[in-house]
Amino acid sequence: MSTLNSVADLGSRIGDLFTNIIGWTLFILIIVEALLVWVIWAYRDRPGREEPKAVHGHVGLEIGWTMIPALIVTIIAIPTISTIFRTQAPPPDNALTIQVTGRQWWWEIRYPELGIVTANEIVVPAGRPVTLELKSGDVIHSFWVPRVGGKRDLIGGKVNTLTFTVETPGAYPGQCAEFCGLSHANMRMLLIAETPQEFDRWVDTQREPPAPPTGEAAAGPAAFVSGGCLACHTIRGLSTGVVGPDLTHVGSRQSIASGLLKNTPENLARWINDPPAVKPGARMPKLPLTGQQIATLAAYLGALK
């Protein structure tokens, strides 16, 4: 999750500026600390040392050491301002817009141009600019994928944007960076950059309805309805709930419960059985489901690729 080794233009620009500023600050740090150590060594009280002269100040020196920090501040300020404007420039025309809505404690992801709705995993094409439209469904959250770049807050009544181009395909973890209540620590996510071909394939599968369930999962839709899941979750063609994440293709995600658990049948069963035990305060309650229902649901959801 390191902020160094950036994989996107945004992070690289920030990284360059950081390297520049850390150079100057280390320079000042070393000089001043060395000076301090030297002064207290050279002027330590020793037998025979004379009573010091009462020097009250020196105008030239004081002007000098006002100018030095002023100069260094100016040197730091110039690339800062230019980076501010470059990293907050309006998105280019070919940018892919993705809407990210923060909710206690998960991320809703929408691709308005592609008609895709998903959660907690943002899939982007590598090499193409992406603009995130950041909103909040409840309290303030903050979007942060350290290897992609800096964070931007999600605030009710306001739409923030964050534009970047991921250069290197891969999966990069992130998490909410603004304290947002009980399970703030558990509001994680994954940003997955795919090659353009892989991305197009992903888009195609997401737009398809999921394959009809077979085998153990065949009873899934019925369990989904009778268990009450439909009230909060959408599975295209089956339900239209909007309180929780869209589950149409939940089986295709790498993780569940906003990045807390790997997406395996066991973990799905564990989550469905008692969500607040996995994620304290989770809005999804422990429902009165039988073991059989949970197993069916886990198999069904896992198969929603």
Partner 1 sequence: MSRLRRLTGWLTTVDHKRIGILYGVSAFAFFLIGGIEALLIRLQLAFPRDSLISAETYNQLFTMHGTTMIFLAVMPLSSAFFNFLVPLMIGARDVAFPRLNALSFWIFLFGGIFINASFLFGAAPNAGWFGYANLTSKTFSEGQNLDFWLLGLLVLGASSLIAGFNFIVTIVNMRAPGMTFMRLPTFVWMTLITQFLIILAFPPITVGLILLGFDRFVGTNFYNPAAGGNPLLWQHLFWLFGHPEVYILILPPMGIISEVLPTFARKPLFGYPVVIYSGILIAFFGFGVWSHHMFTVGLGPVADSAFSIATMLIGIPTGVKIFNWLATLWGGRIRFQTPLYFALGFISMFLIGGLSGIMHASPPVDMQQQDSYFVVAHLHYVLVGGSLFGLFAGIYYWWPKIAGRLLDERLGRVNFWLFFIGFNVAFFPMHFLGVMGMPRRIYTYAEGLNWELWNRTSTAGAFLLGVAILVFLFNALVSLRRGAVAPADPWDGRTLEWSIPSPPPSYNFAEVPIVKSRDELWAQKKGRRSAVPRSEASPEAIHLPAPSHYPIVVAFGIITLAAGALTHLWVSVAGAFLMIYGIYRFAFEYRSGAHG
Residues 60-89 that bind partner 1 (CB under 8 A): 61-62, 65-66, 68-70, 73, 76-77, 80-81, 83-85, 87-88
- Whole-angstrom CA distances from 26 to 13, 20, 64 are 20, 10, 20
Among positions 101, 118, 163, 175, the unique one binding partner 1 when judged by CB under 8 A? 175
Q: Does 101 bind partner 1 (CB under 8 A)?
A: no
CB atoms within 10 A of CB 96: 17
Q: Does 25 bind partner 1 (CB under 8 A)?
A: yes
The count of residues in the chain is 305
Which DSSP symbol is given to 2? -
The residue (of 228 and 276) whose beta carbon lies closer to partner 1 is 276
Taking the complex as a whole, how short is the minimal distance between the CB of residue 22 and partner 1, in angstroms?
Answer: 7
Among 273, 237, 236, 278, residue whose Cα is nearest residue 255: 278
Q: Is 39 in the site for partner 1 (CB under 8 A)?
A: yes
* 34 touches partner 1 (CB under 8 A): no
277 binds partner 1 (CB under 8 A): no
Cβ closest to partner 1, residue 190 vs residue 297: 190
- Which tokens sit at 176? 């909410």
Q: What is the C-alpha to C-alpha distance for residues 269 and 11, in angstroms, rounded to an integer?
A: 38
Give the one residue of 108, 121, 178, 246 binding partner 1; rule: CB under 8 A: 178
Which residue, 63 or 93, is less far from partner 1 as judged by CB? 63
Residue 33 Cβ vs partner 1, minimum distance, rounded to whole Å: 6
| 183 belongs to the binding site for partner 1 (CB under 8 A) | yes
Of 37-45, 94-102, 235-243, 291-299, the segment contacting partner 1 by CB under 8 A is 37-45
Closest residue by Cα to residue 196 from 173, 174, 165: 165
Closer CB to partner 1, 11 or 221, in the complex: 11
Q: Which long-range contacts (CB under 8 A, 24 or more apart) does 150-159 make?
A: 150/10, 150/11, 150/14, 150/87, 151/177, 153/178, 154/100, 154/101, 154/102, 154/178, 159/133, 159/134, 159/135
Q: CA neighbours within 13 Å on the CB side: how many for 169?
A: 7
Q: How far is the CB of 108 from partner 1 (least distance, A)?
A: 17
